[in-house]
Structure 1
Amino acid sequence: MRRFLPWLAVAMVLLVPAIAAADDGTFASYEQRGWGWLFLASFGFGFLTSLTPCVYPMIPITLAIFGARGENVSRGRALALATAYVGGMGLTYATLGVTFALIGKAGDFGTQLANPWIVFPLVLLFLALAASMFGAFDLQLPSGLQAKLNQVGGKGFGGAFAMGLVGGLIAAPCTGPFLAGLLASVSTTGNAAMGGALLFTYAIGMGVLFWVLAAFAMGLPKSGAWMDGVKSTGAIGLLFAAIYYLKPFIPGIRTIASPEWWFLLAAIGVAVLGIVIGAIHLSFHGPWGERIRKGFGVALVLGGALGIWMWKMTPKQHLPWLHDETAAFEKARAEGKGVMVDFSATWCNPCEELEVTFGDPEVFEAITSKFVPLKFDVTEGTDADNDRKSRYKADELPSVVFMSPDGRVLGRINTKLEPDEILPVIGKATKQLSGGPTASAK
Structure 2
Amino acid sequence: MFVLALNIFWEHQVVMIKTARRILDSHIKARLWTLLLLSFSVFSSAANASFNFDLDSDGFGASNSQFLPVDEAFIFDVQVTSKGLRTSWKITEGYYLYQSKIEVSLLDSNATLGTPNFSDSGIEENDPYFGMTRVVYNELQMELPVTLISDAKETEIKITYQGCAVAGLCYPPQAKTVLYFPVENAPAPVLEDIEAQIKAKSLSLSTDDASSIFSFMQENSALATAAIFFLLGLGLTFTPCVLPMIPIITTIVAGNNQSSQKNWGRNFSLALSYVAGMALTYAAFGLTVGLLGASANLQATMQSPIVLIFFAIVFIALAAAMFGLYELQLPAFLRDRLQNQSAKLSGGKIASVFFIGALSALLVSPCVSAPLAGALIYISTSNDAGLGFVSLFSLGLGMGVPLIIVAVGGARFIPKAGAWMNYSKFIFGMLLLGVAVWLINRLVPGNIGLALWGVLSVGAAIYVFTQRTHKIHTRAIKYTLGSLLLLIGALWLFGAIKGSNDPMRPLTSAVLSESKLPFIKVYSLKDLQNELENAKLAGKPAFVDIYADWCISCIIMERDVFPQQDIADKLGQYYLIKADMTKNDAGNIALMEKYEIFGPPSYLFFDTNQNEMKQLRVVGEIGKKRFQERLNRALGNSE
Number of matched residues?
347
**Aligned-partner Cα distance in 2 for 1:210–1:299:** 32
**Distance change (3 Å), C-alpha of 1:272 and 1:208:** closer
User: How much identity, in percent, do the aligned residues show?
Assistant: 19
Q: What's the CA shift string for 1:59-92, capped at 9, x where partnerless?
A: 52747xxxxxxxxxxxxxxxxxx4x984686357
Q: What's the CA shift string for 1:342-384, capped at 9, x where partnerless?
A: 222233222222222223332111101x211012223344444
> Could you say which residue in structure 2 is the equivalent of 1:278?
463
Q: What's the CA shift string for 1:167-214, capped at 9, x where partnerless?
A: 535878xx97x885444367876855435763696488447776899x
User: Among residues 317, 325, 338, which one is paired with 2:513 in the alignment?
Assistant: 317
**Distance change (3 Å), C-alpha of 1:48 and 1:413:** same
Q: What's the CA shift string for 1:204-260, capped at 9, x where partnerless?
A: 8447776899xxxx8972333432222222222222322322234323537979xxx
**Distance change (3 Å), C-alpha of 1:204 and 1:382:** closer
> Could you say which residue in structure 1 is the equivalent of 2:441?
247
> What is the correspondence of 1:33-432 to structure 2 with a 5 Å cutoff?
34-39=232-237, 45=246, 49=250, 53-57=254-258, 59-60=260-261, 62=263, 82=265, 86=268, 90=272, 93-95=275-277, 97-99=279-281, 102=284, 105=288, 108-139=297-328, 144=336, 165-168=347-350, 181-184=360-363, 192-193=389-390, 194-195=392-393, 198=396, 202=400, 205-206=403-404, 221-251=415-445, 253=447, 277-279=462-464, 282=467, 310-312=502-504, 317-318=513-514, 319-323=517-521, 324-325=527-528, 328-333=531-536, 335-356=538-559, 357-368=561-572, 370-410=573-613, 411-432=616-637
**Aligned-partner Cα distance in 2 for 1:45–1:148:** 32
How far apart are 1:385 and its partner, in Å? 3.1
**Distance change (3 Å), C-alpha of 1:57 and 1:87:** closer
**Matched residue type, 1:427:** N
**Aligned-partner Cα distance in 2 for 1:320–1:375:** 10
8 A contact 1:97–1:186 mirrored in 2: no
**Matched residue type, 2:535:** A
**Matched residue type, 1:363:** I
**Aligned-partner Cα distance in 1 for 2:414–2:364:** 34
SS at match of 1:409: coil
SS at match of 2:467: coil
Q: Which one is further off, 48-57 or 99-108?
A: 99-108
**Distance change (3 Å), C-alpha of 1:212 and 1:255:** closer
Q: Give 1 or 2: higher helix fraction.
A: 1
**Matched residue type, 1:108:** N
**Matched residue type, 1:398:** P
**Distance change (3 Å), C-alpha of 1:393 and 1:196:** closer
**Matched residue type, 1:320:** P
Q: Which one is further off, 323-332 or 392-401?
A: 323-332
8 A contact 2:603–2:619 mirrored in 1: yes
SS at match of 2:261: helix
8 A contact 2:279–2:397 mirrored in 1: yes
8 A contact 1:272–1:301 mirrored in 2: yes
**Aligned-partner Cα distance in 2 for 1:255–1:145:** 42
SS at match of 1:222: coil
**Matched residue type, 2:280:** V
**Matched residue type, 2:257:** Y
TM-score norm. by structure 2 comes to: 0.44
SS at match of 2:502: helix
Q: Which one is further off, 386-395 or 237-246?
A: 386-395
SS at match of 1:374: strand
**Distance change (3 Å), C-alpha of 1:298 and 1:149:** farther
Q: What's the CA shift string for 1:298-322, capped at 9, x where partnerless?
A: 9987676786972448756222112
8 A contact 1:320–1:373 mirrored in 2: yes
Max radius of gyration: which structure? Answer: 2
8 A contact 2:234–2:398 mirrored in 1: no
Q: Give 1 or 2: higher strand fraction.
A: 2
**Distance change (3 Å), C-alpha of 1:205 and 1:238:** closer
**Matched residue type, 1:45:** I
8 A contact 1:340–1:371 mirrored in 2: yes
